[in-house]
Amino acid sequence: MYKDKIVVVAGGTGSVGEGIAKWFVSQGATVVIPTRNMTKIAKVQAYIAPNGKNLHFIEGNIADETDAIRVRDEIIATYGQIDAMVSSLFGWWSGDKLTDLSLERWNYIINSSLTTHFIVAKTFIPYIAPRGSYSFIVGLSSVRPVPHSGPISVANAAELMLRRVLSAENDPNQIRINDINLGPINTRSRGAMYSSPDYIDAVEVGRIAGIIAFEEGQNITDASIALRLKTNYHEWLTQMGIN
Ligand SMILES: NC(=O)c1ccc[n+]([C@@H]2O[C@H](COP(=O)([O-])OP(=O)(O)OC[C@H]3O[C@@H](n4cnc5c(N)ncnc54)[C@H](OP(=O)(O)O)[C@@H]3O)[C@@H](O)[C@H]2O)c1
């Protein structure tokens, strides 16, 4: 269905990102995943693309602006264009409460999550094909304070505003920028014990991003799509006219 589409999944080696990449590959897109650590490929390659086709990795640190530009330019030189991008960056952290948190730890988490999102967005968004899609993946902690995960909650909340300002500054005829704001996700790394039939699956997150990029959601722009649980996902599919 997504044949000839080039999709970049930033964070595609991660728990949610691998599911997103798997959905796009399963629909015939060519998926490119930047990674800082090429040894991670072995863990995800066969899962994302069981037939070994349409999946490519590029080594680089997209949290570093110079390297992000190099990665972007190499992707465009190799694949011709970027039709859609999903940014599923940085995972979870819990530890000291804010009043005990070291500045070093604060800076590390804010840089790894919020600042990385900023660098990746500013580097790639201007280069996405017209009417293409850029989706931020954000967690529920963006709107619900999570004790002992303060810097993650703060970064996630700021990522929502980052997305909104990018949308406000953007010409929607150029590119559509949205965020997909999720509750807990069933991922391979979560394992059966902590999974639930009430949770959305990582591959379904990919489907949401795919619908926005190439299907019934192609007019969605400047939207925050809050889908906490599987029931919300099914309601959203119905709203989109999809069974
Ligand atoms: N897991 C959940 O249940 C869940 C629920 C709701 C929302 N989310 C959201 O989904 C997103 C991804 O979460 P996840 O659980 O998939 O995380 P994860 O497994 O840690 O994956 C994050 C990926 O981000 C990439 N990355 C790039 N630059 C990074 C940097 N500077 N620091 C850290 N990672 C960097 C990493 O790729 P390389 O190491 O290959 O470079 C890594 O594979 C987050 O925004 C999270 O809030 C997750």
Atom of ligand 1 nearest to the CA of 63: 31
Span from the CA of 17 to the centroid of ligand 1 (angstroms): 7
Q: How confident is the model at residue 221 (pLDDT cuts 50, 70, 90)?
A: very high
Place of tokens 């490119």: 32
As to burial, measured by CB atoms within 10 angstroms (0-12 exposed, 13-18 middle, 19+ buried), residue 220 is: middle
| The pLDDT of residue 37 is above 90 | yes
Task: Give percent of the chain above pLDDT 90.
Answer: 96
Sorted by where each begins, the domain ranges of the chain are 6-239
Q: How confident is the model at residue 80 (pLDDT cuts 50, 70, 90)?
A: very high
Q: In the structure encoding, which two tokens stand for residue 144, read together?
A: 């619900």
* Residue 185: C-alpha distances to residues 31, 139, 157, 161, 242 (Å): 21, 10, 18, 22, 21
Are the beta carbons of 6 and 32 closer than 8 angstroms?
yes
Pocket of ligand 1 (CB under 6 A): 11, 13-17, 35-37, 40, 62-63, 88-91, 112, 116, 137-139, 182, 184-185, 187
Q: Which CATH architecture has domain 6-239?
A: 3-Layer(aba) Sandwich (3.40)
| The pLDDT of residue 243 is above 90 | no
Q: pLDDT, tens digit, for every residue of 81-122?
A: 999 999 999 999 999 999 999 999 999 999 999 999 999 999
Q: In the structure encoding, which two tokens stand for residue 49, read together?
A: 């693309």
Mean pLDDT confidence for 20-44: 98
**What is the average pLDDT score of the chain?**
97
**The CA-based dihedral angle spanning residues 225, 32, 126, 122, taken in that order and rounded to the nearest 10 degrees:** 70
Which residue from 88, 179, 187 has its CB within 8 A of the most atoms of ligand 1, so it is best to mutate?
A: 88
Torsions phi, psi of 225, nearest 5?
Answer: -100, 100
- H helix runs in the chain, sequence order: 15-26, 41-48, 65-79, 103-110, 116-124, 150-169, 191-194, 202-214, 230-239
